Structures are given as C-alpha cells and as structure tokens.
Amino acid sequence: MNIVILLGAPGSGKGTVAAALASADERLKHVSSGDLLRGAVAKGTPAGVEAKAFMERGQLVPDALIARMIKDVVAETEGDVTMLLDGFPRNLAQAGILEEMGAPVRSVVLIDVPDEIIQDRIAGRRTCPKCKAGYHVKNLPPKVEGVCDRCGAALEIRKDDNPETVKDRLAVYHADTEPLVEFYRSKGLLRVVDGTTGVENVAAAFLKAM
C-alpha cells in the first residue's frame, strides 16, 4: 500500500478527480475525509455528533477525531493499492500525525485553482447523498436534472456549500492547509497540476504527476 495525497482548496476538484481515477482502476482507492465525517454525522456516531457543528461552520474538526478515522482506514488497506487521500492532512499537525503513523506517502499532488473560480464551482455543486457522486450544474451535469446518474437518488446541495460558509472554508484553506504546499515541496514530494482544464484533462495530468 502507498499513499498519494490530494491537496487543493475546497471545490478544486480533489474528490471528482479521485473518484474518476478510482472508478477506472481497482488498485486506486479513494479515501475522502469529508465523506468519512459526513457518514459519521449521518449515522449519529459519537465522532459524528462532535464533528457536526465544526463542519457546519466551515471549520476544521479536531485533529485527533479525524486522525483516528484515517488511521483505521490506513490500517485496513493492504496489498497492491494506492490510496488517493482526499482532505487529509488539512494542516501541519495532521501531516505530523500521518508521518507518525508511518504511512508511506509516495507523492503529494496540488490541484491548483484560483479562488475566483472556486466560488463559482461550489455554487453549482450538487452531491448524491447516497453514493457520494459529485456533479456540477454547468461543468458536470447529471443526465437528468437533480437525479444521480449512478444510483437514481435525488441530488443535494451540501449544507456547508452556502456562500458565507464557503468564504470561511477558503480562509481556513489559506491559513491552515496551504502551508502544507511548502512542507511537502521541501521534502521533494510535491507535484502541481492545473485544475482549470476540465475533469478529464485534470485526471490525466494527475495520473502522470502522481
């Protein structure tokens, strides 16, 4: 098992690219910290109950809470698998936790998208609550408006995708997550791909870069 970390602002396309690559190659496993947390919130587990308020405000949940979940997934992933780790680490402390776990990080790929484009992308984002597939009303529309292509469930707008919370999430990204770019660059692990060229092109560039 080895790990490729996806770095990028909320709405940069990390989840879309990771899901597209994982569905095309069974040796790639997409692990999204946001999906793990939303699953815990939906189930009402103790971790989910604790995480809910942080997520609704667009803030990071406590490091130990998300680190425990990631540790479990890392421990249960074996064999000839590359984990596409989407959303973790989100700050330098979490990067330290990942190192302490001894997780074998092969590379870190930054999906680079300017803030102006991010706002527009998140405004059009739609998500399947059942199978987690992601869509965009203009850039990646479902075949039938409001309905998931994969499982037929009604698509939703994520609670934290409203413009006010998006502003907060972007501020958190710049303050807490962006320092990881230099951190991983200094280790020689960082690759950068242009995230504005369309899903297929970004996925192809990502695959080359990782």
Residues lying near ligand AMP in the complex (CB under 6 A): 10, 33-34, 37, 54-55, 58-61, 66, 87-88, 90, 94, 160, 169
14: annotated active-site residue:
yes
Closer Cβ to ligand AMP, 85 or 148, answer by number: 85
In the complex, the smallest distance separating the C-beta of residue 91 from ligand AMP, rounded to whole angstroms, is: 7
**Cα distance between residue 102 and residue 104, in whole Å:** 6
CB environment 105-134: b (16+ within 10 A), e (fewer): bebbbbbbbeeeebeebbbbbbbbeeebbb
User: Catalytic site residue 191?
Assistant: no
Shorter beta-carbon distance to ligand AMP: residue 62 or 114: 62
Q: Which residue has the tokens 């700050």?
A: 91
- The question of whether 68 is a catalytic residue gets the answer no
Q: In terms of CB distance, is 161 or 210 closer to ligand AMP?
A: 161
Cite the beta strand spans of 34-185 per DSSP E. 82-86, 105-112, 125-127, 134-136
- Residue number of the CB closest to ligand AMP reads 34
Q: Residues 90, 121, 126, 132: which is the catalytic one?
A: 90
115 to 92, 139, 144, 172: CA distances (angstroms): 22, 17, 29, 13
* Residue 167 annotated among the catalytic residues of the structure: no
125 is catalytic: yes
38, 121, 132, 169: the catalytic one is 169
Catalytic positions? 14, 90, 125, 158, 169
